[in-house]
């Protein structure tokens, strides 16, 4: 469906001839022309800064604005002048904080290192013997204590997760995103921790899992299946990707379902002037801000108001799940070619696809809340969940709180007791997994302890004894005892309140 948009504001920017696009920070765009840097804010107003050397990078925080040249950092002072710091290394990237010192990505030629530094704290990312050809694709804060840096060379694209600890930094994780040397771009996108890696022939959509500090592949598909991907890309959510292209007198915004690769929405903005290229797009509160050039190489800032109902339908779009057969779906899940989303789980539950549910529960990309929903629909799947599903205990507790009611809690607990009774002597590991899940179920505190049925308390009493006698999982005993205290249960009349001498 094509929707024509006529509500837009445009402003031709008075910048010097020869200016070129440098970077984008949220709703601010930066142009550079030799020693001059022009900042365009969200309202289209300009600020021009003249530096002693050509600028290669800009970063702004709420209280500081930093510029970087090849080997110098410049900080804008209140009187409009700059403080200057010279370094003995080449600066590739810069990230401003609300402090007097930015985070730097740089090349140290003396020791042949690619490194990240903050104050005196330095982390080595790569060592090299010849000339370092690395460049920074993205650097930004994921949270108040986590920074993500994505960088590439001719051999790889890697990411580094950096932890902030006051004035110090620590390397939390470093891993490879791609080994293909043809990587062209990597976008960080509006609305969450979602990223696109675009090669010549394949597009990958990834989500950054902040609790695990790693990337999860959401979708991978060949770019030749979507010719319009030659435009400016943005990810609206994990289901919708947008492409912005310019024609002679209009801007075309297309929104694709990333699974079916069909256009689910298209906007056309008719202009009263001609555009030649599109440099940057920023989306905020129903407004799209675009930085373009017209046919006379003049920069123009365009604000487009998108209908709130149209935008809401895109943000809530979940996609249509359709598969030719069960075997195809099993292969897609097993190979991680399709993400495990709520719509996919709904499809599996509705069609009672037990084999596909089992494949999901064995996937390392299985969201905890969707695993709970699958087990709710078929309690026999609890066995697969306990044996194969790996994830965050905190997320599992959160999922249980959202999805499990009184009756379902009882169904889960009864099934866990039945599974314990069926475990063979030589399956001690599985026994511990069952006890561990009982522990998680109790930690979720879904019921007041007064609501526990007598037979549950009796079985839990026996479980506490066996945990101690067989040294299977002492944590279960300690956790459930804590649950009793938190719920102010009267320990004087409850035999579960016991004490043991524990040596660590």
Number of residues assigned to the chain: 504
When pLDDT is cut at 50, 70 and 90, the band that residue 286 belongs to is low
**Bridge partners, residue 303, by sequence:** 9, 289
Q: Which residue has the higher pLDDT, 502 or 125?
A: 125
Cβ contacts of 369 within 8 Å, gap of 6 or more? 395, 398, 399, 402, 403
Look at the alpha carbons of 126, 131, 135, 139 in this order and tell me if their dihedral is positive or negative. Answer: positive
Secondary structure (3-state) at 455: helix
Q: What pLDDT digit, counting tens, does each position of 5-47 carry? A: 877 888 888 888 888 889 887 678 899 998 999 998 877 778 8
C-alpha closest to that of 64 among 73, 75, 52? 75
Please report the pLDDT score of residue 497 as a whole number: 44
Quick one: pLDDT band at residue 487, thresholds 50, 70, 90? very low
Query: Residue 126: beta bridge partners?
Result: 114
Written as six digits, the tokens of 413 are: 């607990």
**pLDDT at residue 126 greater than cutoff 50:** yes
Percent of the chain with pLDDT over 70: 77
pLDDT at 475 over 80: no
More confident residue, 465 or 333: 333
**Residue 487 has which token pair?**
């719920």
Residue 490 — very low, low, confident or very high, per pLDDT cuts 50/70/90? very low
Better-predicted residue by pLDDT, 436 or 27: 436
Average pLDDT over residues 380-409: 86
pLDDT at 499: 45
Residue 312, pLDDT score? 57
Q: What is the pTM for the complete model shown?
A: 0.61
* pLDDT tens column, 313-324: 665 555 555 566
Residue range 167-200, pLDDT digits in tens:
889 998 898 878 876 666 555 554 456 677 776 6
Q: How far apart are CA 446 and CA 233, in angstroms?
A: 43
Q: Is 58 helix (H, G, I), strand (E, B) or coil?
A: strand
pLDDT at 177: 79
Q: How far apart are CA 356 and CA 392, in angstroms?
A: 22
């Amino acid at each position: 469906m094509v929707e024509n948009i006529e509500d837009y504001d445009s402003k031709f920017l008075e910048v010097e001839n020869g200016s070129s696009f440098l970077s984008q920070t949220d709703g601010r765009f930066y142009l550079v022309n030799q020693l001059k840097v022009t900042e365009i804010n969200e309202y289209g107003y300009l600020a021009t800064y003249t530096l002693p050397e050509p600028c290669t990078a800009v970063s702004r925080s709420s209280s500081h604005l930093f510029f970087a040249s090849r080997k110098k950092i410049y900080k804008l002072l209140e009187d409009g002048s700059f403080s200057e710091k010279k370094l003995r290394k080449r600066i590739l990237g810069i990230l401003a904080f609300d402090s007097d010192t930015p985070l730097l990505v740089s090349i140290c030629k003396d020791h042949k290192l690619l490194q990240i530094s903050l104050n005196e704290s330095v982390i080595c990312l790569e060592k090299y013997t010849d000339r370092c050809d690395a460049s920074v694709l993205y650097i930004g804060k994921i949270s108040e204590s986590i920074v993500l840096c994505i960088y590439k060379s001719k051999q790889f694209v890697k990411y580094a997760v950096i932890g902030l600890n006051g004035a110090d930094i620590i390397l939390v994780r470093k891993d490879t995103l791609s080994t293909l040397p043809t990587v062209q771009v990597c976008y960080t996108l509006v609305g969450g921790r979602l990223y696109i890696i675009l090669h010549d022939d394949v597009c990958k959509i990834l989500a950054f899992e902040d609790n695990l500090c790693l990337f999860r592949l959401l979708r991978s598909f060949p770019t030749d299946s979507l010719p319009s991907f030659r435009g400016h890309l943005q990810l609206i959510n994990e289901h919708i990707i947008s492409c912005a292209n310019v024609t002679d007198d209009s801007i075309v915004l297309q929104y694709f379902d990333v699974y079916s690769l069909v256009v689910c929405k298209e906007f056309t903005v008719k202009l009263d002037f001609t555009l030649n290229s599109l440099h940057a797009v920023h989306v905020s509160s129903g407004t799209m801000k675009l930085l373009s050039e017209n046919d006379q190489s003049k920069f123009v800032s365009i604000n487009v108001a998108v209908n709130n109902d149209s935008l809401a339908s895109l943000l809530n779009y979940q996609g249509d799940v359709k598969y030719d057969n069960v075997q195809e779906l099993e292969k897609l899940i097993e190979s991680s070619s399709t993400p495990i989303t709520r719509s996919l789980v709904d499809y599996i539950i509705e069609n009672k696809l037990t084999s596909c549910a089992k494949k999901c529960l064995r996937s390392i990309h299985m969201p905890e809340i969707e695993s709970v929903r699958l087990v709710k629909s078929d309690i026999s799947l609890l066995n697969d969940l306990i044996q194969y599903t790996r994830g965050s205990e905190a997320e599992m507790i959160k999922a249980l709180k959202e999805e499990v009611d009184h009756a379902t809690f009882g169904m889960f607990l009864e099934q866990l007791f039945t599974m314990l009774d069926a475990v063979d002597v030589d399956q001690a590991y599985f026994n511990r997994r069952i006890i561990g899940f009982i522990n998680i179920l109790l930690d979720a505190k879904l019921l007041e302890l007064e609501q526990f049925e007598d037979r549950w308390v009796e079985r839990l009493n026996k479980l506490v004894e066996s945990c101690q006698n067989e040294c299977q999982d002492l944590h279960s005993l300690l956790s459930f005892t804590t649950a009793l205290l938190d719920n102010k249960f009267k320990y004087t009349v409850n035999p579960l309140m016991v004490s043991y001498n524990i040596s660590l």
